[in-house]
Amino acid sequence: MKGFVWVLALALAAPTPARAASAAAAKVRARGADARTGRAYPPVAELVKAARKNDRATMERLAARLGVARLGEAARDPSAATAQAALAA
């Protein structure tokens, strides 16, 4: 009987594909996703970090992924670092 309980406990604790899929979906929701395309976009904080490091390649890649509308929102942000990073991109 103890063996059966042990096997049952292991089976219930093992990750299932549904749990893994829901964890991946939660990660995408946490980062944000475009409602129309479903494509995940990076947080603006990554753009600020790239601007602080003066990493032009990363800034260009992030600006392309963020899009013009989100860059405009970031440029109007009250945080000076965020606005400057958006304008530099």
Please state the rounded mean pLDDT for residues 5-32.
Answer: 55
Res. 18: pLDDT tops 90? no
- DSSP secondary structure code for residue 40 in this structure: B
pTM score, whole prediction: 0.59
Share of the chain above pLDDT 90, in %: 45
Cα(15)–Cα(9) distance, integer angstroms: 12
Cα(62)–Cα(11) distance, integer angstroms: 42
CA 45 to chain centre: 10
Residue 23 pLDDT grade (very low, low, confident, very high; cuts 50, 70, 90): low
CB 79 within 8 A of CB 50: no
Residue 7 pLDDT grade (very low, low, confident, very high; cuts 50, 70, 90): low
**What are the structure tokens assigned to 82, written together?**
């965020």
Please state the rounded mean pLDDT for residues 42-48.
Answer: 91
Please state the rounded mean pLDDT for residues 31-40.
Answer: 75
